[in-house]
Amino acid sequence: MNNVTIQTIIQRAVADFGFRQVVLYDFENINNHIQEEEKLDTEIIEAIKGILISEMQQLPIPVEPDQHEEISKTIYNKLNLK
Amino acid sequence: MANKLLENKIAVVTGGATGIGKEIVRELAENDATVILADRNVPLGEKEAQEFQAKKLDVTFMQLDISKIDEVKDFFDSINKKYSRLDILVNNAGIKINAGKVTETSEFEWNLTLGTNLTGTFLCCKYGIPLMEKDGGSVINFSSGSGIKGSYNSVAYGVTKAGIIHLTKTASLEFATQNIRINCIVPGLIDTQQSRGSTGSKELFEKWEKGIPMKRAGRPEEIAPMVAFLCSDQASYITGSLFEINGGSLAQ
């Protein structure tokens, strides 16, 4: 499965605190965006939401640039999307 | 001891759970206003309101996402039912997304930013100002230095902040004779979680600070007293005005 949109959302939310706030407190918009691009099942989206929000809440503010890639990859892997 | 500038005033502060908004909630409440702390972050909003209450300040939390029209309508309906009026509206809530250059900004990020910052502020004015029409009131909108001069990587944010200046000026004309004063704060770099997070690195934040004539970021408590003053009767002849608070940044 090609999850470019989800990967992009994670990268943006890790790098940018403003975007992270949208993931944390306005997931409806993020959900609509993912659905438009990737057509995932509701159950998968719900699972993604739970993991994403939990991970985002634990990130430092800001995440320093040299950590963006590693942290983004770690979060994406936790979603366990195949 | 704080001067009691705002006795018997009913105030709403959007984005009141963190940063500048939280400090404004404190300042208005310490000046004896009854403050509704409005925020979309429910756990944090409730926690902050409880902490204010523990200090005997009259602060109540209400959930509000300013980008959702039905929520905004319901919110001001509730204020009207409970208080029958609104004296002070501080439109502080907003987001900043660093989306890259104009050509790199996605429609998704553009719409998110405009929907929250500009449409959200508009909606709060649209549904909040009618509650002031009987007795007058004060609206404080929040712009930014980015709304006056260009800045890199956040065109949508700058456009919303420029739009908020126009919204302020137009609304101030429309309601001047009804004693509803509408002004705009234009903060520069303020040391909050939001601005440190948006800057993206400690090093860059410090670099930006060095570019400010006063060589430091402002603090939320250097914004809040101006808001309290503008909302008070001492500012009775001030409307349609911008107040730059930025350590001299826009003087350069």
Give this complex's ipTM. Answer: 0.86
Average pLDDT, chain B: 96
Edge-to-edge strands of the sheet including B88-91? B59-63, B34-39, B10-14, B88-91, B137-142, B180-187, B242-245
Residues B27 and B112 in one domain: yes
pLDDT of residue B65: 97
Segment A55-82 shows an average pLDDT of 92
* B203 and B227 part of one domain: no
Q: Which of 20-49 (B) contact A at CB < 8 A?
A: 40-41
B-chain CB neighbours of A58 within 8 Å are none
**Is B197 in the same domain as B106?**
no
pLDDT of residue B1: 47
pLDDT (average), residues B120-149: 97
Residues whose CB is less than 8 angstroms from the CB of residue B232 and which lie 6 or more positions away in sequence, other chains included: B5, B6, B31
Q: Which residues of B touch A15 (CB under 8 A)?
A: 98, 200
CB contacts of B197 in chain A (<8 Å) are 16-18, 20, 61-62
Q: Which domain holds residue A66?
A: 2-78
pLDDT > 90 in chain B, percent? 97
The pTM assigned to this predicted structure is 0.95
Q: What is the mean pLDDT of residues B240-244?
A: 98
- B230 and B218 in a common domain: no
pLDDT of A1 > 60? The answer is no
For residue range B13-57, list pLDDT tens digits in order: 999 999 999 999 999 999 999 999 999 999 999 999 999 999 999
What totals of helices (H) and strands (E) does chain B contain, helices first?
9, 7
Tens digit of each residue's pLDDT (9 = 90 or more) over B154-171: 999 999 999 999 999 999
Say yes or no: B81 and B147 in one domain. yes
Instruction: Please indicate if any CB of chain B lies within 8 Å of the CB of A65.
Output: yes
Q: Could you tell me the residue range of the domain that residue B216 belongs to?
A: 190-222
Q: What percent of chain A clears pLDDT 90, i.e. is strictly above it?
A: 55
Of B40, B95, B201, which is closest to A65 when you measure between CB atoms? B201
CB contact under 8 A, B97 and A15: no
Whether the ω angle into residue A62 lies within 30 degrees of 0, i.e. cis, is yes
Residues of B labelled catalytic: 157
Domain shared by B33 and B79, yes or no: yes
The answer to whether B197 contacts A25, with C-beta atoms less than 8 Å apart, is no
Residues B167 and B215 in one domain: no
Residue B250 inside a domain? The answer is no
Which of B90, B29, B21 has its CA nearest to residue B57? Answer: B29
| CA pseudo-torsion sign A75, A54, A23, A52 | positive
C-alpha B231/C-alpha B226 separation (Å) is: 9
